[in-house]
A and B are shown apart, each in its own frame.
Chain A
Amino acid sequence: MPASLVTALIGLADDHLILGHRLSEWCGHAPMLEEDLAMPNIALDLIGQARALYSYAGELEGAGRDEDALAFGRLERAYRNLLICELPNGDFAHTMLRQFYFASFMQLFWQAAEQSADATLAAIAAKAVKEAEYHRRHCAQWVIRLGDGTDESVRRMAEAVALLAPYTGEFFIADQDTCDVIAGGILPDTQTLQPAWQADVEQVFAEARLVPPKDVYAQKGGRRGVHTEAMGHLLAQLQFMQRSFPDMTW
């Protein structure tokens, strides 16, 4: 169990670090000052959640890896984040739709994880659920505004829906490690979250007058470390300092 839990926690932490990294790329370049504040703020929450998860994984592993060793010290194949988190930002419609999908999923995930048999995870979930709820609300509002805005914003949202459609299926696929942890009552079974997530997306899409995607083939591989080509470039930036100046204190 502990080995499976460590692996599952690292995957979850990677989701948050990598998506937080992407979101932080917007800092100083947002469409309006309010979003120059909101996006780094959400990124900050995601990095904070990643830190809590990495620290706990490192502690359980007992091999002396701290949050930074886990965040910066692995090769690409060892990162286990969902592919949706590493995709390049695209335009603001793409960024907000992705963030809405992820936040809606994580809100349900953390709600369920509050009942975890593991007290540390339940505590992490109790804090994170409030943050995910805020992220979901903020991003859902943008999906609605842009989906029901101008001709251009409608076109861009429709493009974002099509581009992201293949990457949401991975939320609900559990690998063997995750299945073990689910069986232990430690992490929620994401498959059981799918109907509620689907309902949330449909409700927001209805208000946004967006057409949900149909018959989509789900891309997967992130949880096995099989990434898109964008991932290596992201890691080159993320790991730059630790690779250039190994084993130093900052």
Chain B
Amino acid sequence: MYSQGLIGSGEQTTETPEFLAAFQARIDADEKIEPNDPMPEAYRKTLIRQIGQHAHSEIVGMLPEGNWITRAPTLRRKAALLAKVQDEGGHGLYLYSAAETLGVSRKQMTEELISGKAKYSSIFNYPTQTWADIGAIGWLVDGAAIMNQVPLCRCSYGPYARAMIRVCKEESFHQRQGYEIMLKLAEGSAAQKEMAQDALNRWWWPALMMFGPPDGASEHSDQSTRWKIKRFTNDELRQKFVDATVPQAQRLGLTLPDPALAWNEAEGRYDYGEIDWDEFWAVVKGNGPLNKARVAARKKAWEDGAWVREAAIAHANKRAARQSTALAAE
């Protein structure tokens, strides 16, 4: 689950105008670019960064939801949550593989994540405090991710586009599951309704921030759009999300925490209040409630697991050496 305007790009390209024009012609003809095709260096780097951020988001996203696996309220919910978190890990795996087709290794990307250099979706730096947060994440965070990822199924880079098709199917299942958790809470006791409303209050604005900075402030949308990596602007996607989500909240009988939210008849969309961009940038720059804890958890898993990975390689080498000795003896 990932949805954020790419942060920190702005690659320069040094290829000849003829090369760039030929590449653009392929993009304009809606041809898919495949791993061994010639491509501008900036295209490659932008994709590595975007797919890497996307993969990291899936992996870091396992932590806030994983926080509730051992405390899920019923066995059915526990099984569904385990399956969901496992799906997110699976998305991470496809995405790392997609990025690897561009000449970067999973190890390199992981090291960038745990050094704090690589970004991931800012939403995962918020804490999951109650069971309703698991519902709110499925409904809103996976919902926002779908808005962003459905257009990515038509992304010009083939491996990314194909990975997104499968990812989107699973995300849409997660979103329905999250909404169903909220529905049960909304139909439940006063304590359950209060839990659901509180979760919505805390997750709504961070969910809107997932689409990234407003269009005026986004540094690289234009090039990404020309290359058909990105098909809609951050604000366009955010608006689609608000328009889809308001009626869903109404059906739940919950109130979105935005007094400025109102239907705009003339424009045929919902107007919404000002997003706190200071908060957004604080979280992106590492000062969200849990940025340090999330990176530390990934670093700990990576470092604590080093001996396991080394042992697996050592064993494979021993096995190969024994086999070749046995073959030589025959």
A135 interface residue per 8 A CB criterion: no
Given A150-B307, A156-B307, A249-B184, CB of A237 within 8 Å of CB of B79: no
Given A36-B89, A249-B184, CB of A149 within 8 Å of CB of B312: yes
A6 interface residue per 8 A CB criterion: no
- Which residues of chain B are near A47, meaning CB under 8 Å? 75, 78-79, 82
Contact string, B287-330, partner A, CB cutoff 8 A, digits 1/0?
Answer: 00000000001001100111111111011101000000000000
A35-B308, A47-B79 are known; give 11 further A-B pairs, CB within 8 A: A27-B69, A29-B304, A31-B308, A32-B309, A33-B93, A40-B85, A47-B78, A47-B82, A54-B75, A149-B312, A149-B315
- Which residues of chain B are near A29, meaning CB under 8 Å? 297, 300-301, 304
**Are the C-beta atoms of A237 and B62 separated by less than 8 Å?**
no
Q: In the assembled complex, how far is the CB of residue B131 from the closest CB belonging to chain A, in whole angstroms?
A: 6
B188 interface residue per 8 A CB criterion: yes
Q: In the assembled complex, how far is the CB of residue B224 from the closest CB belonging to chain A, in whole angstroms?
A: 27
Closest to B310 in A: A150
Could you give 9 example pairs across A and B, Cβ below 8 Å?
A24-B78, A27-B85, A31-B308, A36-B62, A44-B82, A44-B86, A238-B70, A241-B71, A245-B73
A41 interface residue per 8 A CB criterion: yes
Bound-state CA distance A24–B78 (Å) is: 10
- Which residues of chain B are near A85, meaning CB under 8 Å? none
From A126-134, A140-148, A164-172, the one touching the partner chain is A140-148
Given A43-B82, A249-B184, CB of A145 within 8 Å of CB of B69: no
B12 interface residue per 8 A CB criterion: no
- Which residues of chain B are near A240, meaning CB under 8 Å? 71
A33 contact from B85, B92, B312, B314, Cβ within 8 A: B92
> Which residues 192-250 of A sit at the B interface, judged by CB distance below 8 A?
237-238, 240-242, 245, 248-250
- Which residues of chain B are near A37, meaning CB under 8 Å? 86, 89-90, 93
Shortest 7 CB-CB contacts between residues of A and residues of B: A31-B305, A149-B311, A153-B311, A241-B73, A31-B308, A28-B62, A250-B73
Closest to A44 in B: B82
**Are the C-beta atoms of B315 and A28 separated by less than 8 Å?**
no
**Are the C-beta atoms of A249 and B188 separated by less than 8 Å?**
yes
A25 interface residue per 8 A CB criterion: yes
Contact string, A51-72, partner B, CB cutoff 8 A, digits 1/0?
Answer: 1001000000000000110011
**Are the C-beta atoms of B192 and A248 separated by less than 8 Å?**
yes
- Which residues of chain B are near A156, meaning CB under 8 Å? 307
- Which residues of chain B are near A24, meaning CB under 8 Å? 69-70, 78, 82
Number of interface residues of A (CB under 8 A): 48
**Are the C-beta atoms of A68 and B184 separated by less than 8 Å?**
no
Instruction: Name A's interface SS.
Output: helix
**Are the C-beta atoms of A238 and B307 separated by less than 8 Å?**
no
**Are the C-beta atoms of A146 and B300 separated by less than 8 Å?**
no
Contact string, A1-41, partner B, CB cutoff 8 A, digits 1/0?
Answer: 00000000000000001000100110111111111110011
**Are the C-beta atoms of B308 and A146 separated by less than 8 Å?**
yes
Bound-state CA distance A152–B79 (Å) is: 35
Q: Using CB atoms and an 8 Å cutoff, list the residues of chain A in contact with chain B.
A: 17, 21, 24-25, 27-37, 40-41, 43-44, 47-48, 50-51, 54, 67-68, 71-72, 91-92, 144-146, 148-150, 152-153, 156, 237-238, 240-242, 245, 248-250
**Are the C-beta atoms of A32 and B75 separated by less than 8 Å?**
no
Given A28-B301, A33-B93, A44-B86, CB of A250 within 8 Å of CB of B66: no
- Which residues of chain A are near B304, meaning CB under 8 Å? 29, 31, 91
B189 interface residue per 8 A CB criterion: yes
**Are the C-beta atoms of B62 and A250 separated by less than 8 Å?**
no
- Which residues of chain A are near B316, meaning CB under 8 Å? 145
**Are the C-beta atoms of B89 and A33 separated by less than 8 Å?**
yes
B20 interface residue per 8 A CB criterion: no
- Which residues of chain A are near B185, meaning CB under 8 Å? 250
Q: In the assembled complex, how far is the CB of residue B70 from the closest CB belonging to chain A, in whole angstroms?
A: 5
- Which residues of chain B are near A249, meaning CB under 8 Å? 184, 188
B310 contact from A21, A50, A71, A149, Cβ within 8 A: A149
- Which residues of chain B are near A40, meaning CB under 8 Å? 69, 82-83, 85-86, 89
Q: In the assembled complex, how far is the CB of residue A47 from the closest CB belonging to chain B, in whole angstroms?
A: 5
- Which residues of chain A are near B89, meaning CB under 8 Å? 28, 33, 36-37, 40
B269 interface residue per 8 A CB criterion: no
Closest to B110 in A: A33
Closest to A40 in B: B86
B77 interface residue per 8 A CB criterion: yes
Bound-state CA distance A250–B234 (Å) is: 35
B241 interface residue per 8 A CB criterion: no
Bound-state CA distance A34–B94 (Å) is: 11
**Are the C-beta atoms of B77 and A250 separated by less than 8 Å?**
yes
- Which residues of chain A are near B301, meaning CB under 8 Å? 28-31
Given A40-B85, A149-B314, CB of A92 within 8 Å of CB of B73: no
B59 interface residue per 8 A CB criterion: yes
A44 contact from B83, B307, B315, B318, Cβ within 8 A: B83
Contact string, B91-105, partner A, CB cutoff 8 A, digits 1/0?
Answer: 011001000000000
**Are the C-beta atoms of B79 and A48 separated by less than 8 Å?**
yes
Bound-state CA distance A72–B77 (Å) is: 13
Bound-state CA distance A205–B13 (Å) is: 57
Q: In the assembled complex, how far is the CB of residue A205 from the closest CB belonging to chain B, in whole angstroms?
A: 15
**Are the C-beta atoms of B62 and A145 separated by less than 8 Å?**
no
